[in-house]
Amino acid sequence: MMKHLAQRLTLILLAAMTLTATAHELRDLDIVVVLNDLGHARVVERRTFLVGYEGTEAYIKMYNLGNMQVGELDVTDESGLPYISLMEWDTDWSRDMKTGKCGIYHSSRGPELCWGIGNAGERTYEVHYTLTRMVRAYDDYDGFIFRFYEADRPLARHARITISKEQGEFTAADARFWAFGFHGQIRLVDGKIVAATEWPFTAEGESLTVMARFAKGTFHPVTAESGSFRKVQQKAFEGSSYDITLDEAWQGGGKASYLGNSQPLWRELWNELSPLAVMVLFFVWIYELLAVPARVRSEISEMRHVKRLFGQKKREPLEWWREPPFEGNLQRTYGVLKGVDARQADENDRLAAYLMRMMQRKLLQTIVHTDEKGRVTKLLKVLPPLPAPATTAIKHYDDDKLMWHLQQLLWEAAGDDHLLQPDELKHYMMSRPVEQRVACSNLHSSLNDYPAISLSNATRKDVTEVFGLKKFLKEFTLLDERGIGEITLWKDYMVYATLFGIADQVMTDLKRVVPDFERLIGVEDQVNMQSWDFAGEMARASYWGMEFVRNYETPAERSARQARESARSSSGGFGGGVSFGGGGGSFGGGGSGIR
């Protein structure tokens, strides 16, 4: 009996190893930042991965840099050999072509540091790069707020960042610091700012964001900002557990500074927590052991469903579909897209698709304005909302209900001239957060009213219509012009191309296949069909405004919440650490992982 049990456990282990071989894990992320006297940073990231067989490259997106610049990229792996640094990086290269190479890919949103992942297995990469103008001079202090890591797939199990000066050490007299976006602590250890996670990252968008403030003379930054650093703090503290009135990093953040403690942080923590750590590790080991059969069953079930839905092991349709799925219902289409392959579903693309459909239905219109200097500005003209849909007519997964709530919001924000820009929408939402709570709640509820589709309950027809249409839009250039169909149908296609995140490619291909495309439609339809990028900007502004309103707290509400949190913290015996919320106004971010 024991022999059979051992055989079964061996088979389970082998099956688990086989099924998880395609997955990636980011087991540890260690970031070291050294700041020079001018405020520039030299960064070294040591990333320990379990690399699977899918994907071709690892990446660190460096978006939202302002006037900062990233460069001098160098990468090595566990062999110690330097990677070849390329002037141009092509994300479409194969895995073999990228192996042993690195480069900076300049996307439309900002630079991305990329390197080939090479062979599967446990890999350690050291990524070296510079960031200029990190520390900035303000009227009262010098400082920075930067998002050093933004969780993407795979999520980091553990992360730590160490920030030091090129010359000298930080002291309690010249430095204050806070951290946002993760569960952990931030402390001063041997003259260095050290922040570390206590729990793994659990969702995309969580971050390791650090804000630091320095007394004048600590640095001599080359970049000066108008205004005070206190305003930076106020913006970062919005939605956080920190209190601007305390003005002490370790009162609002980590409780202890560990000044003058020569013991490494990990040794001190181990001395204090080793009995508990051993117990926790034991139970984690038991849990992982017991969870293996369930994971194996889940992986096998997923593979079977993918084969049932797609007719093959890959989530790719075998045939084209050339009609709008579900008679044009975007909510159902998005439900299938997200439930069957969430990697292909993007919330911003979905809202942009609704804006494109509203343009198609003459509820919105893109206006292109050119001033006397030739500068082009796009404006969104908002037409009066239609009457509210009758309560009895509202159904689940109703596109009209969602578009009505969205148009109500845009109409009010547009003002008397009925023209709107993304920044104008943001300003409107920031200036009236309490008044907009009901409208934003209704829009949020409508956005979440899509069917709960999953691999287990999706049908072959669901997959054929949604993923087959995406396949057609990506490959329709294989047809001749006679096979393109009515040009009016492409107004609908552009809505779905926006939803799928391929509108740019589809429009480029359409113009190539139908050279007289622009002559076949009116000027207004032409402008609207080519406005997916502007629709994306408006969608981001709408989402930003909606989330700002939903998370906004009045001073009274914030005080009440902080009092509740303080009471819970005191009764539990825990010191305040990193604030999971807040961190607004930071530079950097964008996500990092393997693709």
Residue 276 is encoded by which pair of tokens? 């508990």
Of the three residues 299, 314, 329, the one that is the final residue of a domain is 314
Contact (CB, 8 A) for 402 and 449 = yes
CA distance 472 to 479: 10
Q: Is the pLDDT of residue 395 over 70?
A: no
Burial class from Cβ neighbours inside 10 Å (0-12, 13-18, 19+) for residue 295 reads: middle
Other CB atoms closer than 10 Å to residue 430's CB: what's the count?
14
Of the three residues 546, 566, 590, the one that is the final residue of a domain is 546
Type and span of the H or E element at 506:
helix 503-513
Amino acid type, 450? Y
Residue 277 is encoded by which pair of tokens? 């750590």
Q: Are residues 198 and 59 in the same domain?
A: yes
Q: Are residues 323 and 433 in the same domain?
A: yes
Beta strands in 52-191 (DSSP E): 57-61, 70-76, 84-86, 101-107, 110-116, 121-131, 136-137, 142-150, 159-165, 175-180, 184-189
Q: Beta strands 142-150 and 25-35: pairing type? A: unpaired
pLDDT value of position 249? 40
Q: Are residues 85 and 234 in the same domain?
A: yes
Residue 162 is encoded by which pair of tokens? 């160490």
Q: Is the pLDDT of residue 235 over 60?
A: yes
Q: What is the 3-state secondary structure (H, E, C) of 196-236?
A: EECCCCCCCCCEEEEEEEECCCCCCCCCECCCCHHHHHHHH
pLDDT value of position 478? 84
Q: Is the pLDDT of residue 340 over 70?
A: yes
Query: Which CATH number characterizes residue 171's domain?
Result: 2.60.40
pLDDT value of position 17? 46
Q: Beta strands 184-189 and 41-51: pairing type? A: unpaired
Q: Are residues 125 and 234 in the same domain?
A: yes
pLDDT value of position 410? 94
**Distances, alpha carbon 112 to alpha carbons 62, 82, 91, 586, 593, in Å:** 6, 19, 10, 18, 11
pLDDT value of position 471? 92
Name the band, by pLDDT with cuts 50, 70 and 90, for residue 102: very high
Among 411-425, 455-469, 578-592, where is mean pLDDT lowest? 578-592
Regarding predicted confidence, which is higher, 450 or 256? 450
Name the band, by pLDDT with cuts 50, 70 and 90, for residue 291: low
Name the band, by pLDDT with cuts 50, 70 and 90, for residue 247: low
Most confident segment among 9-23, 80-94, 302-316, 527-541: 80-94
pLDDT value of position 511? 84
Percent of the chain with pLDDT over 90: 48
Q: Which residue has the tokens 């707290």?
A: 553
Residue 253 lies in a domain: yes
Q: Are residues 477 and 537 in the same domain?
A: yes
Q: Are residues 300 and 242 in the same domain?
A: no
Regarding predicted confidence, which is higher, 132 or 559? 132
Of the three residues 272, 299, 314, the one that is the final residue of a domain is 314
Q: SS3 for 394?
A: coil
pLDDT value of position 256? 28
Residue 13 lies in a domain: no
CA distance 352 to 380: 13
pLDDT value of position 374? 81
CA distance 371 to 373: 5
Q: SS3 for 353?
A: helix
**Distances, alpha carbon 480 to alpha carbons 99, 475, 513, 516, in Å:** 38, 12, 8, 14
Q: Are residues 214 and 334 in the same domain?
A: no
Any alpha helices (H) in 243-329, and if so which ranges?
249-252, 265-310
Name the band, by pLDDT with cuts 50, 70 and 90, for residue 519: confident
Name the band, by pLDDT with cuts 50, 70 and 90, for residue 562: low
Residue 330 lies in a domain: yes
Q: Is the pLDDT of residue 159 over 90?
A: yes
Contact (CB, 8 A) for 208 and 182 = yes
Q: Is the pLDDT of residue 276 over 70?
A: no
Among 60-74, 270-284, 576-590, where is mean pLDDT lowest? 270-284
Q: Which residues contact 358 (CB under 8 A, 6 or more apart)?
A: 364, 403, 406, 407
Among 49-63, 187-201, 305-319, 407-421, where is mean pLDDT lowest? 305-319
Regarding predicted confidence, which is higher, 580 or 65? 65
Other CB atoms closer than 10 Å to residue 529's CB: what's the count?
25
* Closest to 431 (Cα-Cα) out of 545, 264, 586, 579: 545
Regarding predicted confidence, which is higher, 482 or 130? 130
Q: Are residues 161 and 140 in the same domain?
A: yes
* Closest to 259 (Cα-Cα) out of 185, 167, 171: 171
Average pLDDT, the chain: 83
Regarding predicted confidence, which is higher, 373 or 593? 593
Contact (CB, 8 A) for 447 and 351 = yes
Regarding predicted confidence, which is higher, 297 or 235? 235
pLDDT value of position 49? 94
Residue 127 lies in a domain: yes
Q: Which residue has the tokens 């080991």?
A: 285
- The domain total for the chain is 3
Burial class from Cβ neighbours inside 10 Å (0-12, 13-18, 19+) for residue 31 reads: buried
Q: Are residues 539 and 404 in the same domain?
A: yes
CA distance 83 to 76: 6
Contact (CB, 8 A) for 154 and 179 = no
CA distance 87 to 71: 11
pLDDT value of position 251? 36
- The predicted-structure confidence for 293-330, as pLDDT tens digits, reads as follows 766 676 777 788 888 888 888 888 888 998 999 989 99
Residue 561 lies in a domain: no
Q: Note down the domain range covering 56.
A: 25-260
Give CA 95 to chain center in angstroms.
24
Q: Are residues 179 and 130 in the same domain?
A: yes
Q: Which residue has the tokens 């709570």?
A: 437
Residue 565 is encoded by which pair of tokens? 């949190």
Residue 579 lies in a domain: no
Regarding predicted confidence, which is higher, 163 or 258? 163
Q: Is the pLDDT of residue 5 over 50?
A: no
Q: How many residues in the chain?
A: 595
Regarding predicted confidence, which is higher, 179 or 300? 179
Residue 565 lies in a domain: no
- The predicted-structure confidence for 111-137, as pLDDT tens digits, reads as follows 999 999 999 999 999 999 999 999 999
Q: Are residues 39 and 116 in the same domain?
A: yes
Percent of the chain with pLDDT over 70: 83
Q: SS3 for 396?
A: coil
pLDDT value of position 183? 86
Residue 461 lies in a domain: yes
Q: Are residues 389 and 408 in the same domain?
A: yes
